[in-house]
């Protein structure tokens, strides 16, 4: 785990708010935690997707997950849930 990646405590709060790791059909998703850490790296640095470190997985997979979750409203659901919980 890198210094600015999600801590175990942060991950445990976030994990129940995410879609299932294994979809009903198709191939399994890449690990949510790793890809979210990649997304957070992009947001922190402002770098292009292609410059994301390889430790977060293929940049195409990370970008696809980000945009797919944006389109389906998952990020908004996560934000609303965390705001309702408070003390995040």
Between 50 and 88, whose confidence is greater? 50
Please give the DSSP secondary-structure letter assigned to residue 3. T
**What is the overall mean pLDDT for the chain?**
90
Q: How far is CA 87 from the centre of its chain?
A: 20
**8 lies in a domain?**
no
Q: Quote the number of domains for the chain.
A: 1
**19 lies in a domain?**
no
Q: What is the pLDDT of residues 6-36, one digit of tens each?
A: 999 999 999 999 988 776 666 667 899 999 9
Q: What is the pLDDT of residues 36-72, one digit of tens each?
A: 999 999 999 999 999 999 999 999 999 999 999 999 9
**23 lies in a domain?**
no
Task: Give the range of the structural domain holding residue 75, as residue numbers without chain letter.
Answer: 30-88
**63 lies in a domain?**
yes
CB distance 54 to 20 below 8 Å: no
**42 lies in a domain?**
yes
Residue among 26, 37, 44 nearest 62 (CA):
37
**6 lies in a domain?**
no
**13 lies in a domain?**
no
**49 lies in a domain?**
yes
């Amino acid at each position: 785990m890198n210094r600015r990646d999600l801590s175990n405590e942060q991950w445990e709060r976030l994990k129940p708010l995410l879609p299932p790791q294994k979809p009903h059909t198709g191939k399994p998703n890449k690990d949510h935690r790793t890809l979210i850490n990649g997304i957070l790296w992009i947001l922190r640095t402002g770098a292009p997707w292609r410059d994301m470190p390889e430790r977060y997985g293929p940049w195409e997979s990370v970008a696809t997950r980000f945009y797919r979750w944006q389109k389906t409203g998952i990020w908004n659901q996560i934000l609303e849930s965390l705001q309702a919980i408070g003390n995040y």
